[in-house]
Structure 1
């Protein structure tokens, strides 16, 4: 099989398919990325992925190329390119996916199955089918299926090899048969399989991401109410989590969601609804988006209050640059959004992240980057925990207190033990926990 597009999804999928026993060729137009992969390393940080790549390069199941012609001999082609938000709108930018189809199609001279894994607007598979009918020599012998991914960065290898479900969007029984053969070891292990038509498979992915985003924004909206009412959002979250209808996952209040999927996917879902004439059906997602962005502004306001009302002449230590722990991905990172906003308001921002420093530096060269927590906090007027890396939860408040200028901290990810930090003399703020910062009740 071929896997076209060697980003977070494509590389993980290619290595995972090799782990299942298939012969896989990964394709990407970025020659530098392909060289890195051919050398046995992933171009991004993902736990366990380098080992998988190296193992299957060595046994010959996995290789990488920039040549579409070389990849065209595969029986199954997985398309794994990004579908980012359009620069001048909210809809998905389909140029990269279309470019793959247009480039690959002239080389498809035999019967094969083209499988989309990218997150796309409903109706994309039908459009791709029409394109291949016209552009590929094999034409009518090519089938298109949609097999959306449900990977979480930081545990993408596990999610690939041990998914909670497989969604097979297929046009006919033959395409389903091929995909069942591809995933036979996973299916044999008892993973649930959902077989659907093409548009249903496309909607399943966007609906899943939209529900996740809604759940995160819901608890952050509750956190705002908790601050006004004196309640503790962490206890509310735990209590809700015991309800089998709700569940505890994604009920962690704080800085909200970011990354390359949820923000752009909920916007693209709304855009497609408007195109189909049912915009009001997904109108609530606009508020989901608004609540999420408001979380970032609220954290900036917490820090501004700790700095006496202005950032001018103040140093802020930002712990975290990746959009979440376990990855070096800084796409739409809430942490960097906050850091950059403080910088724009004349604050000096010092950032530390265990994995994402180089990516952050490329995205925001105006910020200061340090090599450790203590270095970032040296002389700081306030410290902000903005990414949920485990190491931040183990920081000693007494040790950190020796290097800062003022013992102010905003725990935007609820990563710290509040009692321990309060005992050490810190002015501790966490979203939705007003009892720990009574001066903020009703003010933010």
Structure 2
């Protein structure tokens, strides 16, 4: 089947490359000529492990192409995916659907064959209804159906998530559309991936509900970590103890500096706005958003305390290891490091930093931070070393070398990747999250 993927960002590019790898003919479409030119040259606009190789192999096989020409790109496509951004709308927090609706309008104006229009973008409940209305008004003479197919891709593991998904959710009440979507995902049936057909509105809500629930788990264990510090318990033991309960599960129960990234912050906010619009308040999610925002600044204060307090911290130097919101990505959106670095700068602390992939995106967001070309270069002369993102490169630092390079043996581990006994045995003043 020919598939058109409108939007060649994170979701569109990964999905398009994976569909092509399944054997479909895929055209990725984007309005940005520079992005398309780069993709044609084999240059990825994002860092995602394995993506460059996957794209290159499918381009070489002739199954994956790139274009800025939407009319030509959708010509002959049986499924047309809308995978453009839906950022938080400035001023009110609602999801900005202007890109989705603009694409729907353009598809409607140029569609010449029957096709299923699929919203892959994360969109609020009812968006599919509006997309359907736009298409019908723009082109009343062509057969089409609108379906919802939310993505559940983790940055850093997106290709594996796409090819071996926990579930595939498709929202449509149209039998023809169900048949088309079954054909689109038929290669995954070999892996026995469960496909859940729902109403379109249920599908749209599933994505937001899933992300909100995961955000709740992260925030819950972070609050338990704070309590552990007060009562002398170990949050990692608490996490294991409750995670072994099959009703709870162990995933997303790792205490840290708070969630960030492209999904959780904007999706929890968009869910709150949808709930307000329908007069069905989601108080738990509302609390999660507030607690997570406050936690990021609190991590900055935690570092300042490790330096001896506000007065002692002024003029000192701190090395931040890891800037992206999680490892194996270059994504800096709502990364905790931004708030931590700002809190340190406000306290008069000099900040050096290193991240294996994210410094290019981080630099414009952190004008006061000095970027270094390695972890050890960032550590040199520092009064404290802070692990913000748990990149593999930071899991086995040469602690003797760290101690020699740093001005003071202070290690603040915001991801709990080191053993407190071993680090303290090396002579470090060690601070972690939720551990005595």
Question: Using the alignment, how far apart are the partners of 1:188 and 1:319 within structure 2?
Answer: 41
Partner of 2:138: 135
Question: Using the alignment, how far apart are the partners of 1:273 and 1:302 within structure 2?
Answer: 34
Name the SS for the 1:213 alignment partner.
helix
**Is structure 2 residue 56 aligned with structure 1 residue 47?**
no
Question: Using the alignment, how far apart are the partners of 1:70 and 1:98 within structure 2?
Answer: 19
Match of residue 88, structure 1, among 84, 87, 91: 91
Question: Using the alignment, how far apart are the partners of 1:419 and 1:297 within structure 2?
Answer: 27
* Conserved? CA contact 2:42–2:52, under 8 Å: yes
Calculate the TM-score normalised by the size of structure 1: 0.95
Matches within 5 A, 1:65-84: 65-73=67-75, 74-84=77-87
Calculate the TM-score normalised by the size of structure 2: 0.97
Question: Using the alignment, how far apart are the partners of 2:422 and 2:60 within structure 1?
Answer: 49
* Conserved? CA contact 1:407–1:427, under 8 Å: yes
Question: Using the alignment, how far apart are the partners of 1:423 and 1:178 within structure 2?
Answer: 61
Partner of 2:327: 325
Question: Using the alignment, how far apart are the partners of 1:99 and 1:384 within structure 2?
Answer: 44
Partner of 1:234: 236
Once superposed, which parts of structure 1, at least 4 consecutive aligned residues long, lie more than 4 Å away? none
* Conserved? CA contact 1:106–1:137, under 8 Å: no
Residues 105, 344 of structure 1: CA spacing in aligned structure 2 closer, same or farther, 3 A cutoff? farther
Question: Using the alignment, how far apart are the partners of 2:139 and 2:227 within structure 1?
Answer: 57
Match of residue 413, structure 2, among 411, 414, 418: 411
Question: Using the alignment, how far apart are the partners of 1:424 and 1:299 within structure 2?
Answer: 24
Match of residue 252, structure 1, among 245, 251, 254: 254
Question: Using the alignment, how far apart are the partners of 1:188 and 1:404 within structure 2?
Answer: 53
Question: Using the alignment, how far apart are the partners of 1:336 and 1:217 within structure 2?
Answer: 18
* Conserved? CA contact 1:40–1:57, under 8 Å: no
Partner of 1:305: 305
Question: Using the alignment, how far apart are the partners of 1:285 and 1:190 within structure 2?
Answer: 33
Question: Using the alignment, how far apart are the partners of 1:405 and 1:91 within structure 2?
Answer: 46
**Is structure 2 residue 117 aligned with structure 1 residue 114?**
yes
Match of residue 203, structure 2, among 201, 204, 227: 201
Residues 138, 351 of structure 1: CA spacing in aligned structure 2 closer, same or farther, 3 A cutoff? farther
* Conserved? CA contact 1:317–1:349, under 8 Å: yes
Farther off after superposition, 102-111 or 52-61: 102-111
**Is structure 2 residue 177 aligned with structure 1 residue 175?**
yes
* Conserved? CA contact 1:109–1:138, under 8 Å: no
Partner of 1:348: 350
* Conserved? CA contact 1:397–1:420, under 8 Å: no
Instruction: Give how far 1:137 is off.
Output: 5.5
Question: Using the alignment, how far apart are the partners of 1:108 and 1:13 within structure 2?
Answer: 22
Question: Using the alignment, how far apart are the partners of 1:35 and 1:11 within structure 2?
Answer: 14
* Conserved? CA contact 1:5–1:81, under 8 Å: yes
Name the SS for the 1:304 alignment partner.
helix
> What is the total number of aligned residue pairs between the two structures?
431
**Is structure 2 residue 127 aligned with structure 1 residue 124?**
yes
Instruction: Give how far 1:200 is off.
Output: 0.5
Residues 138, 23 of structure 1: CA spacing in aligned structure 2 closer, same or farther, 3 A cutoff? farther
Partner of 1:439: none
Residues 421, 138 of structure 1: CA spacing in aligned structure 2 closer, same or farther, 3 A cutoff? farther
Partner of 2:294: 294
Name the SS for the 1:416 alignment partner.
coil
Q: For residues 404-431 of structure 1, give each alpha carbon's deviation from its aligned partner in whole angstroms, at most 9, with x where no partner exists.
A: 1111111101122222211111111111
**Is structure 2 residue 424 aligned with structure 1 residue 422?**
yes
RMSD of aligned residue pairs (Cα, Å): 1.2
Q: For residues 312-341 of structure 1, give each alpha carbon's deviation from its aligned partner in whole angstroms, at most 9, with x where no partner exists.
A: 211110001111001011111112221122
Q: For residues 34-68 of structure 1, give each alpha carbon's deviation from its aligned partner in whole angstroms, at most 9, with x where no partner exists.
A: 11111123211100100110001111100101111
Structure 2: state its 5+ residue gaps.
Answer: none
**Is structure 2 residue 61 aligned with structure 1 residue 59?**
yes
**Is structure 2 residue 38 aligned with structure 1 residue 29?**
no
Structure 1: state its 5+ residue gaps.
Answer: 436-444
Partner of 1:442: none
